[in-house]
Structure formats: C-alpha cells, structure tokens
Structure 1
Amino acid sequence: MSLYPPLLSLFLLISSTVSATAAATAAVSPVSSPSASPTPKLPSPSPISTSTLDPEQRTALDSLNIPTPKDPCSPQPHLSFAATCDSSSPYRHILSLSLFNCSDDVALSSTALKSLSTVTSLSFLNCPIPVIRLPTEFALNLRSFTCINSLKKLTGVWLSRLENVTELTVSKAIVTASGPSIILNNMRFLHSVTLSHANLSGFLPKHWHPNLTFVDLSANSLKGEIPLSLTRLENLVHLNLSSNSLDDTLPSTIGDLSALQNLSLGSNSLSGPIPQSLAELSGLMHLDLGSNQLNGTIPNFIRDMKSLKYLNLERNNFHGVLPFNATFIQKLEELKVGENSNLCYNHTTLGSKLKLGIAPCDKHGLPVSPPPAKDSSDDSSDNSDESDYSDVEDKKHHHGPSKIVLGVAIGLSSIVFLIVFLILLSRCCK
C-alpha cells in the first residue's frame, strides 16, 4: 500500500515534463531552421487559410455579374460559380474558375480578366455567352480550358491563342475554323484534346505534338485519310475519330500506337481490310470499327487480344466465317457484328441459337439463306428468325429425299395396278 504515493508523484512529474516539452516545441516550431533548404511556394488550394481574396480580384468577379459567395475561395455548392484559390498571404488569388448555367446577365470583360491573370484553369458549362478577346497574359497563363455547350461565335483563331494549355476540351460548341490544325499547331504542351460536336471541317492535322495521350475529334465533318503521323504518338492512350467523313484505308502502321487502349473509328467511310499490325495493340480494351466500308475476313488475332472488352464490327462488308469461339465472346462486355451480309458463324461451335445478327454457315462456309418470312399472325410466337437458320439445311436435305421416295412409290403402285388390270382383262377375254 505504501507504493501508491511515490507512483502518483512520479506520474505527476512525467505529465508536467511532457506538457512543458510540448509547449516548448509549439513555441519553437514557427521558426525556420537556418540549415533547412527553402521549399518552393506552390499555388495549391488551401481550405484552412484565413486570408481573404485579393480585393482587386473580388472587384473583378463582381464586375462579371456572377453571384458569388462572400468568400469565393471557400468550397460550397453554387448554381453558377466555383473557384479554387492559393494559400498566399495577406491575400489569396484564384487559380481555377468555373462558370456554369449562366444567365444572360453574365458579361466577360478584358479589364476583369486582366485582374484574374492568376487563373490557370477556366471552364464554361452551359454558358452561351459571347466571347471576348482574352488579354495576352491571361491567355498564356491558362493550362486547362473547357467549353461545353458554351460561348457564342467561337473561332479557331481564338482557341489557338491558348498556346500553353495541356488540356483542351471543346464540345457541343460551334467553332468557325477551316480545320483542327489552326487550333492545335501552336499548342506545344498539349496532352489531352477534345474537339467534338464542334462543326469542324477540313482534314486531320499532318503534324501532332508527341506529348498527346488523349485525342477526341469525334462528331465533326472531317474528311480525307488518317495520316501516318498520327500513328507515331507512342504515348497515345485514347483515339476517337468516330462520326466523321474519313475515307481511304486504315493506316498499316496503326500497331505502332503501343499504349493505345481505346480506338474508335466508327461511322466513317473507311475501306479495305483490318491491318495485321493491329495485333500489336495488346492493351486495347475498346475497338469500334462499325458503320464503315471495311472488307475482307475478320482476322484471327482479334480473338487473342486479352484486354478487349468492347468490339464493334457491325455494318461493314466483312465476309467468311467469324473466327471467334464461345470463350472469347463470353469475356466481352459487348459484341456487335451484325449487318455484314456475307459474314457467318460456325453454329456447331457457337450454338444455333446465338443471336449475333448474322447467319450461321453452311458446310461450304457461306451464310445459310434465311427461312421464308412468317405471317404477321405468327410474330407473337417468335420475334426472331435467327434461331431457325440452323434448321434450313436439314430441311433442305430432308425434303429432297422425301419427294424422290414418294415418286418411286407412286410409280411402283401404277405398275402393279397396270399388271393386275391386264391379268383381269385377259381372263375376261377367254
């Protein structure tokens, strides 16, 4: 029992020592160590800063007629405005600015944008407001620009002034330009570009910056061939040129895009066979070549592409036997091969009731003719005739021999009847 007072005293002594040490540490911590190397001050958002927004930038925001919160840097939901700021002192500065669902009262001005030259990311979403000429410093400081269903009278020359952006996204906005080259040629640091549903015409650029990893020029009016220079982008992961008017053949060097995971070239006028080099794209997950004029047989190497999840080859001119087995088809999340009139599948391997939109093959590797159309009254019993394909050949062979046997039987019966008739007739004459 006599041990408790000394133990209690020791505990109190340790507690007081720890408290004193913590207080000393707290007092010393704000002082920088003279031997420590200086840390560069990065402009990163800091929600814990107690500084207020630069008054000049506050005034600039107010002049845009955008309803903004008392502290624009604080994260909070808002109908038409969002911003992130750095943590500088005594005043913070805006780094990213997003305007969405804009009213007609929003008015951009060069004076306001000059005060907002610290902005490196600018986004417009559902803001159909007129564009203005961006101040040079503001334009060159941008690293990311997004315009979706926004900005009236947008031109390729206006976009080309964003020389230092690494991410450019323009979608569902009419851009007046003779082609994408005028926009992209001077963007030396570009990594990701989306110019989709933008009314672009002309040809694909002949020159591409090697840093590109993402290219989406879908749903425009681009024409001509896919240039070989595009296949030299060894870092390209995503390529979408679908829904244009591209023609000629697929580049024979398309397999040089070794990092490619998504290739979408559907809804164009591409012709010729699928190039053998496509087999080199071992990481390809999405392949869309549908709605073109491609021909030849579907190459066997496609079934060996282990990463493939989505495959669209429908609405082309492919012929021959589909080279896919059940294992390959089951691993796909989606497969489209329909509307290739000269393409068929081996129903002994894949089953006769597989619905692929193409006919099964006959013994010669040709599509089996479809069965006769049924009356509309029978439609409710079976909405698809594809499962009947497998029975057509058997019915053909079955109906042929039956008619021969029936003919022979009738002939023999006639002969027997004639013999009996002659015998009876001879007896009557006697």
Structure 2
Amino acid sequence: MEETSFVIPISLIFVLLHTLPILTLSPPTSPSKSPLPSPSTPSSSTLDPKQLRALQSLNIPTSKDPCTTPKTLQNVIHCDNSKPFHHLTSLHLINCSDDVSLSITALKSLSTLQDLQFINCPIAPVSFPSELASNLKSFTCFNSLRKLTGVFLSHLVNVTDLNVTGVPIKASGPVIILAHLKKVNKVTISNANLTGNLPGKSWNSNISHIDLSKNHLKGKIPNSITELENLYSLDLSSNQLTGELPTSIGDLIELRNLSVSSNSLSGSIPESIVSMPSLVYLDLSSNQFNGSIPKFLADMKSLKYLNLERNNFQGILPFNSSFIKRLEVFKIGENANLCYNHTTLSSKMKLGISPCDKNGLPISPPTKSPSSDDDYSGDDSDDDSSSEDSTSKKSGGHHGPNKVVLGVAIALSSIVFLIIFLILLSRRCA
C-alpha cells in the first residue's frame, strides 16, 4: 500500500509537468484589454457597402450608420427602406473641404440618387454616369464645381427641379439645356454667365418657376412665355433684353412674381397686366419704359411691391395716397418727366419726383422758407422740429437788438473802468 501511494503522486507530477507548456501557449488576457466589438464600425451600417465606400471617398464620415445619422453642416443624407441594405436617395454636399474629389467609380455607386446638391463645394467637375444622370429628379449646384457646360446639364433629362447659381456655364444659350429637360418644373440658372436668347418653344408647359437673372441674355422676351399657364414666378432681371413686354403678358393668370429690372426694355406697360389677379410683386425698374403710368395698376388688389423707378415715364402719377399706403414697397423715383399732383399727394410721402405745375409738368422744388407746406419735409416729427426752429428764429428777431445794446453797454463800461483805473494808478505813482 505504501508503494502504491508513493507512485501516484509522482505520476500526477509528471502529467502536470507535461501539460504546463501547452497551457502557456495561451496566456491569460486581462479583462481591461479584451477587444470589444465597436458599434461604429462600417460593418454595422445598413447602407449598401459600395455606397458606403463611395461616401468614404468623398470624405464623408461613416463611423456611424449614414442612414440614421442626423444631418450636419457638411452633409445631408437620406436613404430608402430597401433590404438587405439601404440605398441613398438624397445627398447634399455642403461646405466641402479642398481635398474632396469626385470619381467615376464613386458616382457609379451612387446611381440610386434622386436628389444631389453641391453647396459651396468648389471641387473639380466630372461627367455623371448615364444611370445617375437619368435617375436624378433634383439637381442643385450653388457656388460649386467651378464650371459646367450646357451639354452636361442637358443630360439630366428627368430633372424636375434644376438650380444652378454662381457657376459659369459654357453654352450658346439656355435652349441647349432646356430643350432636353422636358419634365423640369422649376428652373433657376442665375449668375451663370449665360449668353444667347431666351428659348422660343422649348419650355415645359407645366413649368411654374423660371429664374434666369444675372446673365447676359439678349433679344426680346418671346410670346411663348405667356403661354405657360402654370407659371407663378418669372425673373429675367439683370440681363440685356430689349424690346417691349409682350402684350399677352396678362395671360399668365397664375403669376405672382414678375421681375424684368435692369434690362433695356422699352415701350409702355401692357394693359393686359390688370388681368393678373394673383400678381404680388412687379419690378420694372432700371429700364427704358416710357409713356404714362396706367391707372389700372391701382385696381390690382393683390399687388404689394411695385418698383417703377429709373425709367422714362412721364405725365402725372395717377395714384392716390390710399393705394400707395396699401403697398409694402413703392418706388417711382428717377423718372425725370414724371410728377405728382400736390393737391392729391403730400410731399411727405418721399416719392422722389417733383410736383406738377398747372400744366401737368414737373417743376423744380420751390425755394421757400423751410416752414412752407410745399417743401419736402419728411415725417411729422421733422415738421415739428422745423417749426420750433422757425419759432426760435422769430423770437431771436425780437430780442436780437436788445442783446446788441447790452453788449455795447458792457464794452463801454469796461473801457470807462479801465480809464479810471489808469488815472488813479498814475496819481499814486506820482
């Protein structure tokens, strides 16, 4: 029994010695250093892996799921609900860094986009893959992509909302672009160095918003624009347009905003404008419009903004004070041959034109005292202050001589006192 009991411990020791090297191959790990799965790794994203890599190439953070991350000052992302992975439907790149660049590979992966916006992203432009170009419904380029071409924009054949602002466009005219955009509903091509003439019949009949302002467009405004019965906003300001407003402009019965300012348009204001019941904003300033200002403008109940300044209008202003006060903005100045009836309108309204004489012609502002009713005097508070000034001048007229006499008396008294003082001083010294 003793030998048996002695052999067993030795055998156990032998086994333990042989198993120790095996145990040491897997050293124990500290709980504090054990690797934990990170929820922010790309593998946790619900977005299609190809599109995830495309976002990474655009320096868009993807540590969290882009489809669930709130919008930031740098980007806005929206995804669909497709499975097993979501796909991008909207991407807004805002205030891009200088090292962002577009690649054909990345853009091909983003072909599911329907809304793409570049805002303050002056990065080098690149041609869109055909699938992406045809899928886009909305495209915005604001101070971005450095430059564009009319051919590039014409490939966005299914776009309904096009906004290109502050980006030079190389094209022979807007027709190169709009002739291919048969579904466009809102178009803004502003401050884009666009040349040529306005399109004739290339407009989508359902278009509701046209803004071609701040370009170099020439020629006349075509009558075809007045056939766009759903148009509610038309801005052709700051171009080089000539001719007259179409006489059929009143056919745009849905129009709310009309601006053709800063062109070289001439002629009179078409009478058909009175047939535009929804017109709120009318800006014809800085042109060469002439003739008399039609009185029917005062019958337009929706009108709130009326700017007719810097033109060649003539005659008597036909509006009364109640109409002018109803407007939020009214500008009529710098029409040298235009005047107002001072028996109907007060000079306090600051119209910027002269009153009329008995023949209905402008007269120079009267050179009378500031208290005269015919003078341009601003508001009532100015009148009060001027009346106070005149009162003080009148009172000064009554008391002025007394002050002079008093001053002379004081001067003479001083001289007499000085003489007496010198006489007394000379006697003492003697």
Relative to the length of structure 2, the TM-score reads 0.74
2:348 corresponds in structure 1 to: 353
Query: Does the 8 Å contact 1:67/1:81 carry over to 2?
Result: no
Relative to the length of structure 1, the TM-score reads 0.74
What is the SS of the residue equivalent to 1:114? helix
**What do residues 23-46 of structure 1 show as CA deviations (whole Å, max 9, x unaligned)?**
xxxxxxxxxxxxxxxxxxxxxxxx
2:133 to 136, 139, 142: 139
Query: Does the 8 Å contact 1:99/1:127 carry over to 2?
Result: yes
**What do residues 105-134 of structure 1 show as CA deviations (whole Å, max 9, x unaligned)?**
111111111111110000000001111110
1:411 corresponds in structure 2 to: none
1:199 to 193, 206, 215: 193
2:255 to 257, 260, 264: 260
1:157 corresponds in structure 2 to: 151
Q: What is the CA distance between 1:386 and its match in structure 2? A: 3.3
Q: Give the Cα–Cα distance (whole angstroms) in 1 for the partners of residues 221 and 176 of structure 2.
A: 17
Q: What is the CA distance between 1:373 and its match in structure 2? A: 11
What is the SS of the residue equivalent to 1:52? coil
What is the SS of the residue equivalent to 1:350? coil
Say yes or no: does 1:127 pair with 2:121.
yes
1:26 corresponds in structure 2 to: none
Q: Give the Cα–Cα distance (whole angstroms) in 1 for the partners of residues 283 and 62 of structure 2.
A: 44
Name the CA shift for 1:294/1:104 in 2 (closer, same or farther; >3 Å): same
2:179 to 174, 185, 195: 185
1:425 corresponds in structure 2 to: none
2:404 corresponds in structure 1 to: none
2:322 to 318, 327, 330: 327
Q: Give the Cα–Cα distance (whole angstroms) in 2 for the partners of residues 131 and 373 of structure 1.
A: 66
1:114 to 90, 108, 111: 108
Say yes or no: does 1:88 pair with 2:82.
yes
Q: Give the Cα–Cα distance (whole angstroms) in 1 for the partners of residues 133 and 284 of structure 2.
A: 38
Name the CA shift for 1:66/1:387 in 2 (closer, same or farther; >3 Å): same
Query: Does the 8 Å contact 1:221/1:244 carry over to 2?
Result: yes
Which structure 1 segments of 5+ residues have no match? 1-49, 389-430
Q: Give the Cα–Cα distance (whole angstroms) in 1 for the partners of residues 58 and 346 of structure 2.
A: 65
Name the CA shift for 1:239/1:373 in 2 (closer, same or farther; >3 Å): farther
Q: Give the Cα–Cα distance (whole angstroms) in 1 for the partners of residues 81 and 252 of structure 2.
A: 41
Q: What is the CA distance between 1:372 and its match in structure 2? A: 5.4
Q: What is the CA distance between 1:153 and its match in structure 2? A: 2.9
Say yes or no: does 1:224 pair with 2:219.
yes
1:60 to 24, 34, 54: 54
Return the letter of the residue paired with 1:284: L
What is the SS of the residue equivalent to 1:222? strand
Q: What is the CA distance between 1:63 and its match in structure 2? A: 1.9
Q: Sequence identity of aligned pairs in percent? A: 60
What is the SS of the residue equivalent to 2:207? coil
Say yes or no: does 1:212 pair with 2:207.
yes
Which structure 2 segments of 5+ residues have no match? 1-43, 379-430
Say yes or no: does 1:364 pair with 2:354.
no
Query: Does the 8 Å contact 2:347/2:375 carry over to 1?
Result: no
Query: Does the 8 Å contact 2:45/2:64 carry over to 1?
Result: no
Name the CA shift for 1:69/1:187 in 2 (closer, same or farther; >3 Å): farther
Q: What is the CA distance between 1:353 and its match in structure 2? A: 2.3
1:292 to 287, 299, 305: 287
Q: What is the CA distance between 1:387 and its match in structure 2? A: 4.5
Q: What is the CA distance between 1:259 and its match in structure 2? A: 0.5
Q: What is the CA distance between 1:385 and its match in structure 2? A: 6.1
Q: Rg bigger for which structure?
A: 2
Say yes or no: does 1:386 pair with 2:381.
no
Q: What is the CA distance between 1:361 and its match in structure 2? A: 1.4
Q: Give the Cα–Cα distance (whole angstroms) in 2 for the partners of residues 240 and 174 of structure 1.
A: 19
Q: Give the Cα–Cα distance (whole angstroms) in 2 for the partners of residues 241 and 89 of structure 1.
A: 46
Stretches of 4+ aligned residues off by more than 6 angstroms = none
Name the CA shift for 1:181/1:385 in 2 (closer, same or farther; >3 Å): farther
**What do residues 298-331 of structure 1 show as CA deviations (whole Å, max 9, x unaligned)?**
0011000000000000000001111111111111
What is the SS of the residue equivalent to 1:157? helix
2:302 corresponds in structure 1 to: 307
1:6 corresponds in structure 2 to: none
Query: Does the 8 Å contact 1:352/1:387 carry over to 2?
Result: yes
Which deviates the most, 285-294 or 342-351? 342-351
Name the CA shift for 1:274/1:145 in 2 (closer, same or farther; >3 Å): same
Name the CA shift for 1:68/1:199 in 2 (closer, same or farther; >3 Å): farther
Q: CA RMSD in A?
A: 2.1
Q: What is the CA distance between 1:266 and its match in structure 2? A: 0.4
Q: Give the Cα–Cα distance (whole angstroms) in 1 for the partners of residues 54 and 128 of structure 2.
A: 14
Q: What is the CA distance between 1:247 and its match in structure 2? A: 0.4
Q: What is the CA distance between 1:177 and its match in structure 2? A: 1.0
Q: Give the Cα–Cα distance (whole angstroms) in 2 for the partners of residues 259 and 295 of structure 1.
A: 26
1:274 corresponds in structure 2 to: 269
What is the SS of the residue equivalent to 1:266? coil
Q: Give the Cα–Cα distance (whole angstroms) in 2 for the partners of residues 108 and 304 of structure 1.
A: 55
Q: What is the CA distance between 1:368 and its match in structure 2? A: 1.8
What is the SS of the residue equivalent to 1:53? coil
Name the CA shift for 1:352/1:59 in 2 (closer, same or farther; >3 Å): closer
Return the letter of the residue paired with 1:149: N
**What do residues 368-394 of structure 1 show as CA deviations (whole Å, max 9, x unaligned)?**
2234599xxx9xx99x96349xxxxxx
